[in-house]
Amino acid sequence: QEQAVNLSIRRAAGLLADGKAAEINPILTQVEHSVSVMGKRLLATLDEERYISDPVYRKDFLHRAEDWFEDIARFTPGATTSWFRLEKDRFGPDAGIFMTDDRYGGFVSVKPTELTDYAEDDLEHVGWYYEPLKAGHPLWMPPYENRNVGLKIITYVIPLYRDKTFLGVVGMDIQHS
């Protein structure tokens, strides 16, 4: 009798886990696709030298990027943020954008985190920048408390390279409950 109850419990737990996986897998796949699209668009449109030397170009580029990232995030189920950060030494410690959910169905731009304010091993503040740089490939970060936004999140991030030179990172966060 006890074995039958345990077997029934295991089966029910397995079905519940399968159901949750079926719910989350399409969301994770969509996040990966959205971040890939954002990365390709950045690489196709960013002129790094003009970004560094021309403040008018830089302002216009960042404004257009905010619009793209808001549009993509609005149509990505589960997205709470979308962002990109350029390589800190070449472009500056806060170069890029950070779009966060405004809780009304849209996204708003907030000032990006100053990378130089935190140690490279401070995962809760800047792991989203340094972990993909170290890995050299796209990655999902395990759930963590992002101290910049005060949320427990899961981050998907892609390091961007041009001609094998690190250009920055692009990513999206989903809230982990």
Nearest to 171 by CA among 86, 57, 92, 56: 86
Alpha carbon of residue 23 to chain centroid: 20
The secondary structure of residue 81, as a DSSP letter, is: E
Give me the DSSP letters along 12-61. Answer: HHHHHHHHHHHHHHHHHHHHHHHHHHHHHHHHHH--HHHHHH-HHHHHHH
How confident is the model at residue 144, as a pLDDT? Answer: 79
Do 51 and 58 contact (CB within 8 A), yes or no? yes
pLDDT tens per residue, range 75-124: 898 899 999 999 999 999 999 999 988 888 789 899 998 999 999 998 88
pLDDT tens per residue, range 122-161: 888 899 999 999 999 999 988 877 776 777 888 999 999 9
